[in-house]
Structures are given as C-alpha cells and as structure tokens.
Structure 1
Amino acid sequence: MRYGEPDDLFDRPEVPVRPFEFDADVARVFPDMVRRSVPGYAELVGLAGLIARRVARPGTQCYDLGCSLGAVTRSILRHTAADVRVVAVDNAPAMVDGLRARLRDVEGADRVEPVCADVQSLSIERASLVVLNLTLQFIPLADRLALLRRIRAGLIPGGVLMLAEKVAVPTEQEGAFLQVLHEDFKRANGYSELAISRKRTALEQVLVPETIEMHEQRLAEAGFSRHCRWFQSLNFVAWVAWT
C-alpha cells in the first residue's frame, strides 16, 4: 500500500453512489481525504497528544476508538510514558491493517494494541483517556448513550473522554452558513463540485450529526461530572469530559 494517495473516490460519475464505508479504497486515500475534508483536523490530532500528556496516568491505558489509520494513536504515543498502553480500535479491517503498517518504524509501537472490533462491544478497562475523534457520529443514535456509559465505567477516577464531532446547527440560517463554508473549504482544497455532491450523498446515509446541546446533555446523562468545549472549526467541535 502506498501512503498519501490523492482522494479521487467521488470524482467517478460511472461509479454508483453508495453509503460511505471505511473500506480498502477509503483507507488508501484517507490521509488526503481527512486533511482536505475536515477543517482543523491536524490541530485535533496534535492536541489529542497534548491532552494525553496531561491526563494519562502510569500503568493505565489510553483508547483511540474509531482509530482509522492511527493518527491520534501515534500522537498519544509520542506524548505518553513507556508504561502507558494505547489500545487502537476500529471495526474496518483495512484501517487496522493500515495502522499496523504505519506502526512498523514508530518508536514505542510495542505499546500499541491494534484491535479490529466494534467499539460498542469493546471492554474498556483501566483507562485514563478515551478518544472518540469523529467516531460517535457513525454510531446509531439509539446506541450512543450506552457507549458513553460504557466508556465512563471504564475510566479511572479523574479519567478523561475526548470527544470530537461534526455538529448540526439548529438555526437554519447559521447552519446553512456553516454548511456553505465547509463546502468552500473543500473547494479550496481542490475538491470538484461532483465530488462534494457525491460524498455528501454517501455520508447522509451513515453520518448523523447532533447539536452541541444534545452532545452536552448526553455527556451528563452518561455520568461525566463536567465537560469543557475546547475546540471549534466551522461545524466541527471537540470536548473533554471528566469522570
């Protein structure tokens, strides 16, 4: 597998649009796709490592749930001590295979446990940090609270959840403005009108965003004692929540 191939998946009018999935084709172009599609992605990844440096405790585990090719995993690895393990979980075999390939020459890679599994059925233990970076939005709405409760139960006292999501804006005018800016961001990064339209159609069937208020209410319902909204770039928002 070559790394960093250009994302041209949605520039093929002869290919029918189907619901988005993290298959081998997406894994092949994912670094380029996420860089050109998600405003602030590099900052989210880098800051995940800095958060880990502050909250990871000796002898505990950090979880990267929905790890894709492991950008957050590697960021955590760079900023944590040798006795902190990182459990990197994704349900897409192509992503886990890509993660393993990217860890081959990474110092401290023996601290990472790649796991191909559904995050909804994963056992979380002795966690000082759990990261859900653009992952919850792909979980069915009815299952999101149960997942957050499972995460909360697996965190040690003082443990932290980092949650980043694309959010819905309830005000029609403001929501439309952010949507247009997001599409302008993609255009500025070289995406064609065809690709923007076809990817939007593919994602509409699997990515269900919620409002900031819905996310924050769910964090409280899941048992987190407090939360802090610390990042926003257009309609992408991130929180940290404490046990």
Structure 2
Amino acid sequence: MTKKQDAIYAAPLNEIIDFQFDERVAAVFPDMIQRSVPGYGMMISTIGILAGRYAQADSRCYDLGCSLGAVSLAMRQRISQPGCEIIAIDNSAAMIERGRDLLARDTTSTIPVTMVCADLQEISIENASVVVLNFTLQFIPLTERLTLIKRIYRGLKPGGILILSEKIAFEKQARQQFHVELHHDFKRANGYSDLEVSQKRTALEKVLIPETLDCHQQRLQAAGFVFTDIWFQCFNFVSLVAIK
C-alpha cells in the first residue's frame, strides 16, 4: 500500500487551527510520523520486541492512543504467550476506521486485536502485562497525567511493563534550542519546508505539551514503579520503560 504524502501544511494558511487527529491526518499519518519523529520505525519494532519479552500468558496488552495500530501490529507479531489479547484504544474515529482496515490485512499472527474508539482515560486497565503510551501522554492535560499513570500501574500485573514514548523539553534554554533545531533540521532533510515546519509547530503548541525527562521519571516513581529507564533517545524524543 503506497503511503499518501503529508502536505497538510504545505500552503500558507490564513488561520492555523489546533492540531487534531482528523480524517486529513489519518490519511497521511504513516508518512507524517516517519518524516517527523526520528527513529520512529525502530521504536515501533523494538516495542514489539519488548512486548514479546514481557507479555504474560492469559493477559492483556494495551496500546493506548493507538492511531493506526502500528504498535498493536508490532506487538502481535512478537507475542507468543498463549491467551494474550491486544486492546487498542484511540479517540479518533478516522484513525480507528483506517486502523481496522490495516489490521484486517495482517495475517502474520492469530493474537486477537480489538480496536476501540474511546477516550483512553475512561477505559479500565485490567489484567495487563504490557501497556504502551507511544507519543500519547503528551496530548493529555498536565493535571490528569499522574491519575492516568497510577491507573495503568494498578492495572498491571506484577512484572508488567509500561512503555512510554514522549517528545520532551529541557530546562536549560541552550539545550532546548539545540535539540529543537536539530529536530527541525531532521524534518527539512525529510522534505518539509520551513513553512510546513512553522505552521505545524503553531498548530501543535497548545495541544502537545512536552515535559522534562525528570518530570516523567518522578511521575512514574510516584505512581509506584520501582524500575524505570530510558531505552531510546534521539534529539528531543525519548522512550522509557517502567516495570512493576
């Protein structure tokens, strides 16, 4: 299946509205995410490897904020424990509809995947051995993030893992500028114009609220996780594991 190229911000816009995961974004999302997030493909495949190691028999694996289900498919291809099921949640009907179409084409595994259009903050996390928040927490209001992480912790089985990928901020301005500029260079190298970079940044600034790595680690510890570590970082994008 040929990826449709992202040109949402290619022309000057009279008004830049807040970014949302609507049908326009869903239609170009594979291209958008690959050209915008450094190391995205490697992250997806490695999340599958992590799920394969930590998934427990007769348990649930959650993909929260699943978009088109790339994480769910990666987990499905690596999980071998019997009785596992994958629950994929997203509040975008356009993402879920397209994700179900992509899932239907996958015949590599018999692990059941259920894609649900719902608010992940209203979904019960139960009997979980793997939970993934892949660039999802950053779209949750700041005051509600700890509540979500605590709920995930309670729903995890002992030895269960949370995989948390986020765009992060840095306390020191020089360090923040260094990583932001390198990220923008990465996007330009992938064919985005200065106009596209600028307009998308404006669209995201009130929607995607990044935090420092220290904030994330302190929140994970406050929720009860005793082991946390970074397994990936490129510029201002990181992915952490937290084990119960």
The answer, yes or no, to whether TM exceeds 0.5 is yes
Q: Which residue in 2 is equivalent to 1:85?
A: 85
Q: Which residue in 1 is equivalent to 2:53?
A: 54
Say if 1:110 and 1:55 are closer, same or farther in 2 by CA, change over 3 A.
Answer: closer
Letter in 2 for 1:98: R
- Counterpart CA distance in 1 for 2:169 and 2:40 is 18
1:99 aligns with 2:99: yes
Q: Which residue in 1 is equivalent to 2:37?
A: 38
Letter in 2 for 1:189: N
Letter in 2 for 1:139: I
Q: Is the CA contact (8 Å cut-off) linking 2:153 and 2:224 kept in structure 1?
A: yes
Letter in 2 for 1:17: I
Map Cα deviations across residues 32-74 of structure 1 (whole Å, 9 max, x no partner): 0000000011111010000001000111010000000011110
Q: Which residue in 1 is equivalent to 2:117?
A: 116
Matches within 5 A, 1:123-142: 123-142=124-143
**Which sections of structure 1, spanning at least 5 residues, go unmatched?**
none
Q: Which residue in 1 is equivalent to 2:21?
A: 22
SS across alignment from 1:130: strand
Deviation at 1:236, TM superposition (A): 0.4
Q: Is the CA contact (8 Å cut-off) linking 1:103 and 1:109 kept in structure 2?
A: no
Q: Which residue in 2 is equivalent to 1:178?
A: 179
- Counterpart CA distance in 1 for 2:13 and 2:146 is 39
Q: Is the CA contact (8 Å cut-off) linking 2:76 and 2:111 kept in structure 1?
A: no
Aligned-pair Cα RMSD in Å: 1.2
TM-score by length of structure 2 reads 0.97
- Counterpart CA distance in 2 for 1:45 and 1:105 is 18
Letter in 2 for 1:115: V
- Counterpart CA distance in 2 for 1:149 and 1:173 is 33
Letter in 2 for 1:47: T
- Counterpart CA distance in 2 for 1:131 and 1:4 is 25
Letter in 1 for 2:147: A
- Counterpart CA distance in 2 for 1:211 and 1:238 is 13
Say if 1:95 and 1:196 are closer, same or farther in 2 by CA, change over 3 A.
Answer: same
- Identity level (%): 48
- Counterpart CA distance in 1 for 2:89 and 2:2 is 20
SS across alignment from 1:156: strand
- Counterpart CA distance in 1 for 2:164 and 2:206 is 22
Q: Is the CA contact (8 Å cut-off) linking 2:84 and 2:111 kept in structure 1?
A: no
Q: Is the CA contact (8 Å cut-off) linking 2:64 and 2:131 kept in structure 1?
A: yes
Matches within 5 A, 1:63-74: 63-74=62-73
- Counterpart CA distance in 2 for 1:172 and 1:133 is 26
- Counterpart CA distance in 2 for 1:147 and 1:184 is 33
- Counterpart CA distance in 1 for 2:66 and 2:159 is 23
- Counterpart CA distance in 2 for 1:242 and 1:87 is 19
- Counterpart CA distance in 1 for 2:14 and 2:131 is 37
